[in-house]
Structure 1
Amino acid sequence: MKGIAGGVTHPARVVPLAFLAAVVVGTGLLSLPMSTPGPTRPPVLTAAFTSVSAVCVTGLTTVDTATYWSPFGQVVIMGLIQVGGFGIMTLATLLGLLVVGRLRLTSSLIAQAETHALNIGDVRHVVRRVAVTMLAFEAAFAVVLTLRFRTRYDDGWGEAAWHGAFHSVSAFNNAGFALYSDNLIGFVDDAWIMFPICLAVVVGGIGFPVLFELRRRWRQPRGWTVHTRLTVWGTLILLVTGIVAFLALEWSNGGTLGGLSPWGKVVGGVTGGVVPRTAGFNSIDYAQITPETMAVNYVLMFIGGGSAGTAGGIKVTTFFLLAFVIWSEVRGERDTNVAHRRVGGETVRQALTVVLLALAAIAVGTMVVLLVTDLALDVVLFETISAFATVGLSTGITPDLPPSAQLTLMVLMFVGRVGTITVASALALTSRQRHFHLPEERPVIG
């Protein structure tokens, strides 16, 4: 990777080391006695699990964030979420620029930038824009939440502002941490709380390159890049599908939406369709959802959100690109075309690699947890997909898992958050063209 600070560094080393350093620092801070209300130090595993979950903006926890951690500990968690989300958006965007420059495309990932090589000036420009964008959105959502906490729930201005800021940062970064023991179940039918949080989740998870391009060309969808088209329309399709499916499957379920008013069910349904896109906020008890809803959540969590955003999963672009590949193959077309553009074979192979590696990681993690526990496959699979896709939704089994299973989830969170960026960028940056072709042979498929 040339052009950053004049050196040569490979993303396979830069990204994991950067996130690992943040995890280590976070673990150290959360291990301090002042991080908890009591005089004793938190166990290292508890501090490390929380640090990994916060830096990887997941939201899975082994303890109650609202009561276990002191105000200092909660501030540390919010700081780790911010660092993790900012690092994800910045590194993914910069690596996207490098990939574009390496492949010599005519348009860049960030709305057809003029340069094809990333120098130190580009780095500062991108970092500044990401920071300003994040802080502006987080501040706007924090104001709305603060006013609601203050006027509806009789919180003092200080407490309301703190809760507004924390949940805004957590939502925009798709982290799913909350300052209430039941997460957000107490606000399930409060549209003034849940809708801003859902909007923050979508905006943060759609990706900085898409946000930037939409700002410039939101009235000209025909001029959008393939990346933006796949992300925007794919996100809309998944949101509508998730919301409709959640409402249909949980409308009469007494353990989730069944006891709410019709409007409360709509608010809960919207939240239920948005948060599996890797936000992880619990507005209902996910231990009570139907098996059909759990199956839908498997898919939504696995796909995740947009590239170069705070969401996890294999990413919307990856999923819908492969859908176009299948459609082209079914129609017998040699090329994969999206929005009057041909997608190269290298990109298709990279997408397949990301998906297969994700499936392998989830399969191995699920098998390990099953071996060390007596839990059923459906709840374990829900937890491992949630961890790998950095979602944070849970049926409530995480605090009771043995240390070996918790360590497995930590590895899945780290690999799922860091690995997708690293693998996708490394594959693109190390691609090379052979100057000869071997004899062709076609094995039997299917």
Structure 2
Amino acid sequence: MARLPKLLRRPKNALLRRPKNALSWWYNDVSDDENRASGRIRRISVTDRLLKHPGRLSIVYFGVLIVVVTALLMMPFATRSGHSTSFPVAFFTAVSALSTCGIQVVNTSAYWSMFAQVIILISIQLGGLGVMTFASMIALGVSRRLKVSQMMLTANELGTSKFSEIRGVIAVVLTTTAITEAITFTLLLPELLRVNDGDPGRTLWQAMFYAVSAYNNTGFTPDTSGLHVTNVGVGLPILISAFIGTLGFPVVLNVVQCARHKLSPKRWTLHTKLTLVTTAILVGVSLLWFLLVEWHNPDLFPSNDLSMKLRRSAVAAVMPRSAGFDISWVPGVSDVSKVFMSALMFIGAGSSSTAGGIRVTTFAVIILICRAAFTGHRDVTAFHRRIPRRIQMTAISVTMSCFSLVAVGSMALMFVTDCGFGDAIFETCSAFSLGGYSAGVVSAGNPASMFILAAAMIVGRLGPMTIAYAISRPMAPEPIRYPQESVIVG
């Protein structure tokens, strides 16, 4: 009898037996079946279990940081008065800092001691670099290499499709963050030194705090006055840094690479083009909106000076989608402007950026899908490129899940605070998109409202895709494909 091929000489039922996880051959270096076939029994440690599921690792990492920061902020020496902070206030502040949202229920400079402000600043930096970026660094340090599943989710987070580039991209992310914050810090020093009457210690601290907070799009400020929008030397560097932070690491990396190789903007990736064009449109529309609708609003425009109105309208156009600096004028805007700002915050900033929301590329894909449907085209295209169907379905799924979250959060906020729908939707969109603005609905005296917004911040920081990855399992291929039949919609 002829020798059987090597493939057919495997253990009995080896070809028919499938692992409990249908795609474990892709997510693990060695499958359970291969371990059993070779007679090797390896005890799986807690670390190995977490590394198999990078989405869960991100949640664990983020959860541990929340617990640690909350505990530190509850210490008596974390406040200027020397009294312990209540758990709801400490927890909300920790989540707000780590998620880079920036909504505050207590004044940062007046309530927290220098120790607590340093903890808040470190939390902002850790949150801004991205949960998955640090989770990947943990995996590198523990296992000296990235597993395939870790690389998949990290590639999606950082906007690269080549696994071999991920380690380099992580290095570029850290380098870009350091360079941008260092430049912002340097530009802020001269004017802040003048504002602080030559106090070098206070100037250095404020410059560093503003540099980190601006690039990471967080509304925390080291002083009671907030963003000095009337001071060009302070407001302009912060505004530019915050805007760069909203673009996202993939866009900044792509633009820098093309500029270094002297390539024209035509060679930019489709993601970069969609992000920049959509961002420019949103900023332009927002600028016109505040100039036209709020022109006579003394809270936003305290003087009739044209240059001052242009500067303050630019801040109002850029900041709501990302950072909540200078929130003093927000309660004074009209209800229709609050609804408009809620829509901007829901859209958010660029993918893999320090801000949140459904992201501008998701919004752009939704608009492109509508355009294709109304014009009778089968393909969804942009800049002479066809967008894959998988991306279209992801955009729709993310938008609907996020919209559901905001709707439920708004209704819950109305239930516990008796606020109006406009303020509730504004507050929830700000928390989910990590915008940092507040209409005054949440307060330290209402713990339920703080927990509701904290939940929205956590989901906004981790992202619905990461949470879906963490709680789901790979699906087995469908054995039967049913016939197609139309339904009536609309």
TM-score, scaled relative to structure 1: 0.89
1:399 Cα offset (Å): 2.0
**Secondary structure of 1:398 counterpart:** coil
Q: Is 1:154 the counterpart of 2:200 in the alignment?
A: no
**Secondary structure of 2:129 counterpart:** helix
1:389 Cα offset (Å): 0.9
Q: CA RMSD in A?
A: 2.9
Match of 2:431 in 1: 387
Alpha carbons 2:398, 2:465 under 8 Å: kept: no
1:182 Cα offset (Å): 4.2
Structure with higher Rg: it is 2
1:222 Cα offset (Å): 1.5
1:198 Cα offset (Å): 1.3
| Pair 376,312 (structure 1): closer, same or farther in 2 beyond 3 Å | same
> Which whole-Å CA distance do the structure 2 matches of 1:125 and 1:416 have between them?
26
Matches within 5 A, 1:1-400: 1=27, 9-88=52-131, 90=133, 116-117=162-163, 122-184=165-227, 187-218=228-259, 219-282=263-326, 284-399=328-443
| Pair 136,232 (structure 1): closer, same or farther in 2 beyond 3 Å | same
> Which whole-Å CA distance do the structure 2 matches of 1:431 and 1:224 have between them?
35
Per-residue deviation, residues 322-364 of structure 1 (Å, max 9, x unmatched): 1111111111111111222221212111111111111111111
> Which whole-Å CA distance do the structure 1 matches of 2:331 and 2:166 have between them?
44
5+ residue gaps, structure 2, are 1-26, 30-46, 140-146
Q: Give the number of equivalent residue pairs.
A: 434
Alpha carbons 2:160, 2:250 under 8 Å: kept: no
> Which whole-Å CA distance do the structure 2 matches of 1:405 and 1:440 have between them?
47
Alpha carbons 2:57, 2:135 under 8 Å: kept: no
> Which whole-Å CA distance do the structure 2 matches of 1:17 and 1:178 have between them?
28
1:400 Cα offset (Å): 5.3
1:292 Cα offset (Å): 2.4
1:261 Cα offset (Å): 2.0
Alpha carbons 2:78, 2:116 under 8 Å: kept: yes
Q: Is 1:415 the counterpart of 2:456 in the alignment?
A: no
Per-residue deviation, residues 103-122 of structure 1 (Å, max 9, x unmatched): 9xxx9997877xx435xxx5
5+ residue gaps, structure 1, are none
Which amino acid is the alignment partner of residue 290 of structure 1? Answer: S
| Pair 260,2 (structure 1): closer, same or farther in 2 beyond 3 Å | farther
> Which whole-Å CA distance do the structure 2 matches of 1:98 and 1:442 have between them?
39
**Secondary structure of 1:399 counterpart:** coil
Alpha carbons 1:89, 1:208 under 8 Å: kept: no
> Which whole-Å CA distance do the structure 1 matches of 2:235 and 2:388 have between them?
41
> Which whole-Å CA distance do the structure 2 matches of 1:380 and 1:85 have between them?
26
Q: Structure 1: which 4+ aligned runs deviate by more than 4 Å?
A: 5-8, 91-95, 97-103, 107-113, 423-436
1:295 Cα offset (Å): 1.8
TM-score, scaled relative to structure 2: 0.82
> Which whole-Å CA distance do the structure 2 matches of 1:297 and 1:284 have between them?
15
